[in-house]
Amino acid sequence: MMRDDKHDERPIKPDVGAIAGVYVLDDQTDTTREQMTQTAAAVAAGDLQAITAWLEPERIRRLRQMTAAHRDEVAHWLGLLGNVRGGGKRVTELRRALKARADDLPDAVQRGDVGADLPKGWQDPKPYICSAAGLYRDTEQGAVRITSRPIWIDQYLSEVNGAGDALRICWRSFGGGIVRRIVPRAVAASSRELVAELATHGASITSVSASDVVRYLDEATTKNEARIPRRDVSSRLGWIYRDGEPRGFLAGREYIGRPDDPGVDLMSDDGVESLAAAYGTAGTWAGYLEEVVRPASSSAAFWLSTYNQIASVLVRPLDLGTPWFIDRSGRTSQGKSTIGKAAAAVWQDPRAVPSWNTSKAGVEARAATLRDLPLMLDDSKEARRPDDVAAVVYMHGNGTGAIRGKPGSNGRAVGLRATEKWSSAGDSSGEQRLTSFTQDAGARARVLCLIGSPLASGEVARRVQLGAETHHGHLGRRVVRHLLAGDWGDLKARFADESKRLTRALKADGAVAERLGRIVAALKVAAYLVHAVGVPEPECDVWAAALASCRHGSEDADQPLAALRYVMQRCAAERARFWHTGCEKPAAQDPAEDERLYRPVHGGFAGRWNHEKSVDILEYVVREWLRRGGFDEGTIERWHESGYIETTASSRGRTVRTRIAGQTASVYRIPMSMFERYA
């Protein structure tokens, strides 16, 4: 018979030669044999029904297995039954059924077929049997088929960021190949979700069999704990931590670890994969030095942007504080974007640097996936709305994404989604300064705006860009290897030292300059690393340029004053809207004059002009103007603190009461001295 031929072709695995459906099993053979004996006895005693009972599909199947392994024994048994009076007809039926069924059953399948695919030493959890013909459950009545194709686990994956463990579930596909799919443990534990996940990808699982499969997978995981290979995976790039210490680094798909580290794989997820694809290497280290670093070496912006790429991955391990941005702004075609590309070449293919034309949610997902790697955004002019730029700078600076709700569980109406986190440095370019998109004073302390023409000529720009596209991904990896072999304590001390020195140097330049000093300190530590791994020293005074940027940054950082100036300018421009002294008691005897004084003012009264003394502006008008000017409401409180507005003992919310056209009104009062000093 066919089956026997097959069996004979596999002399190396004689013991697995059992039979369709089930691999072994002496105890199963014994059970069948025992049942056969019982049947023979029952039939001999006149119970012919006992023969018909073997027509039940499961028993037919087992009988067929028995036939394949012990042909003579079954033949003898059938002969025995057929010899009993009235038994012949039934035995013929049984023989026919045995034959007919045989064609329906899968090819001779052996545990051996699937055995090679299972993890070494795999043991089926009782009462399940994983064979090439499917997954079976052993019952008193014999093995019951659960799935028509085998299914097993070949890897146990631990997500290192705490996103939960996963199993790599494998099954034979329709075409015979093996499909492997990473499924979160939480999904593998729910029959409904497991069906949705696996059936979509072609596994033979149904809502009926799912609960058995769930139990089987769970028990198989436990039983084979020592035999299923474990892998650490990460759905984020950047540093991989273990026990609070950086253990290794995922630069794209490549894991950089210490020699004894078995490694961490990038968790395959479509979005992460496509992002990681850009973070590979191309060209050579020597090529990078020769064609990117050398031509750009006289540009301070190039060096600061390059250091920033390295500083980004120091933020978390050295605890450098909240994320920041560095920004190159200025006229068009000065090489701002080119420098961005040259800097990006530290980690990635510069052609993959995205533009500002993206949504806030998109940036959030990107920053969270890149984790420690710098967030690059080119050309703020491309942003859909200026407000988006401000929102991104603000969000990135917080290091966390938006807090989002989700449908609640356990009786709660709503729950909270885990918020995304990152700790990176940003890199942006554009015609306008990044800080000009927002009036938020806090943003000014977190954006280092580089000034001055970045590159010497268009020719240099072209060379650098071409060089960066050809040679990239080397410097970042070198620094990571250096860091993994080195001493974090030394670098922390360096940062503390630099911070102290810069704070002192920038003290006179105001709070914002002082805070920007932190970024420069981080860049200094990064510079130390960049040159420690073999990049030649710059051919320009990088740090003078950095300090100039800090000082420059503080100059336009006084937002309350900027707001005051803006409001004073509007007062001057809309002077006609102000009621003024001498108007309270109109000369009633002259109707013409009266009319002039009460003539409706275009746009309505804005306030009252107290000559030589102060200007009163209606509360709502100030709020409206601040909003139009892009200043926030907190500005009024800052004005009060800085003494820019006058209040009286009876002031409510920093307003004073005055009379305009015979009516009492709440106004903010700006003394004339402010106009003289600042307008």
Ligand X SMILES: Nc1ncnc2c1ncn2[C@@H]1O[C@H](COP(=O)(O)OP(=O)(O)OP(=O)(O)O)[C@@H](O)[C@H]1O
Compute the least distance from the CB of residue 304 to Mg ion, in Å.
17
| Residue 130 contacts residue 171 (beta carbons within 8 Å) | no
Binding segment (CB under 6 A) for ligand X, from list 82-90, 335-343, 397-405, 553-561: 335-343
Continuous H helices in 201-329: 210-223, 270-276, 285-288, 294-296, 300-312
Residue with smaller CB distance to Mg ion, 39 or 308: 308
Compute the least distance from the CB of residue 454 to ligand X, in Å.
7
Which residue from 168, 172, 196, 190 is spatially nearest to 181, judged by alpha carbons? 168
Binding segment (CB under 6 A) for ligand X, from list 230-238, 283-291, 329-337, 501-509: 329-337
Q: Binding string to ligand X for residues 418 to 437, with x set by CB under 6 A, is what?
A: -----------x-x------
CA angle 209, 214, 217 (to 5 degrees): 120
Residue with smaller CB distance to ligand X, 224 or 465: 465
Q: Which residue has the tokens 């099993």?
A: 25
Compute the least distance from the CB of residue 428 to Mg ion, in Å.
10
Work out the burial of residue 641: count CB atoms within 10 Å of its CB; fewer than 13 is exposed, 13-18 middle, 19 or more buried.
Answer: exposed
Compute the least distance from the CB of residue 329 to ligand X, in Å.
9
**Of the candidate residues 28, 309, 337, 380, the single one contacting ligand X (CB under 6 A):** 337
**Of the candidate residues 332, 589, 663, 664, the single one contacting ligand X (CB under 6 A):** 332
Helix axes 210-223, 191-200, angle to 10 degrees: 90
559 binds Mg ion (CB under 5 A): no
Compute the least distance from the CB of residue 450 to ligand X, in Å.
12
Tokens of 535: 């990049």
Residue with smaller CB distance to ligand X, 336 or 518: 336
338 binds ligand X (CB under 6 A): yes
Residue with smaller CB distance to ligand X, 50 or 339: 339
Residue with smaller CB distance to ligand X, 155 or 305: 305
Q: Binding string to ligand X for residues 444 to 463, with x set by CB under 6 A, is what?
A: ---------x-xxxx--xx-
Binding segment (CB under 5 A) for Mg ion, from list 266-274, 336-344, 462-470, 625-633: 336-344
338 binds Mg ion (CB under 5 A): no
- Sorted by sequence, the CB contacts under 8 Å of residue 425 that are 6+ apart come out as 308, 309, 311, 312, 315, 323, 324, 325, 326, 374, 375, 522
Residue with smaller CB distance to Mg ion, 286 or 456: 456
337 binds Mg ion (CB under 5 A): yes
453-512 residues near ligand X, rule: CB under 6 A: 453, 455-458, 461-462
| Residue 458, contacted partner among ligand X, Mg ion, none, CB below 5-8 A by kind | ligand X
Binding segment (CB under 6 A) for ligand X, from list 108-116, 249-257, 331-339, 533-541: 331-339
**Of the candidate residues 17, 142, 238, 335, the single one contacting ligand X (CB under 6 A):** 335
- Sorted by sequence, the CB contacts under 8 Å of residue 291 that are 6+ apart come out as 463, 464, 466, 467, 468, 470, 471
Tokens of 68: 């394949």
- Sorted by sequence, the CB contacts under 8 Å of residue 479 that are 6+ apart come out as 310, 313, 529, 530, 533
Question: How far, in Å, are 17, 112, 121 from residue 109 at the CA level?
Answer: 9, 8, 19
Which residue from 336, 543, 363, 290 is spatially nearest to 432, judged by alpha carbons? 336
Question: In whole angstroms, what is the distance from residue 520 CA to residue 524 CA?
Answer: 6
| Residue 461, contacted partner among Mg ion, ligand X, none, CB below 5-8 A by kind | ligand X
Residue with smaller CB distance to Mg ion, 340 or 630: 340
Question: In whole angstroms, what is the distance from residue 675 CA to residue 679 CA?
Answer: 5
Which residue from 540, 536, 550 is spatially nearest to 504, judged by alpha carbons? 550
Which residue from 387, 439, 643, 640 is spatially nearest to 556, judged by alpha carbons? 439
Compute the least distance from the CB of residue 383 to ligand X, in Å.
13
Which residue from 327, 553, 371 is spatially nearest to 445, judged by alpha carbons? 553
Q: Calculate the CA 369 to chain-centre distance.
A: 3
Question: In whole angstroms, what is the distance from residue 533 CA to residue 580 CA?
Answer: 71
Q: Binding string to ligand X for residues 370 to 389, with x set by CB under 6 A, is what?
A: ---------x----------
Compute the least distance from the CB of residue 424 to ligand X, in Å.
22
| Residue 38, contacted partner among ligand X, Mg ion, none, CB below 5-8 A by kind | none
Compute the least distance from the CB of residue 460 to ligand X, in Å.
7
Question: In whole angstroms, what is the distance from residue 519 CA to residue 326 CA?
Answer: 9
354-383 residues near Mg ion, rule: CB under 5 A: 379
Total chain residues near ligand X (CB under 6 A): 17
| Residue 281, contacted partner among Mg ion, ligand X, none, CB below 5-8 A by kind | none
DSSP-derived secondary structure letter, 330: -
| Residue 323, contacted partner among Mg ion, ligand X, none, CB below 5-8 A by kind | none
> Contact residues for ligand X (CB under 6 A)?
332-338, 379, 429, 431, 453, 455-458, 461-462
Q: Which residues bind Mg ion (CB under 5 A)?
A: 337, 379
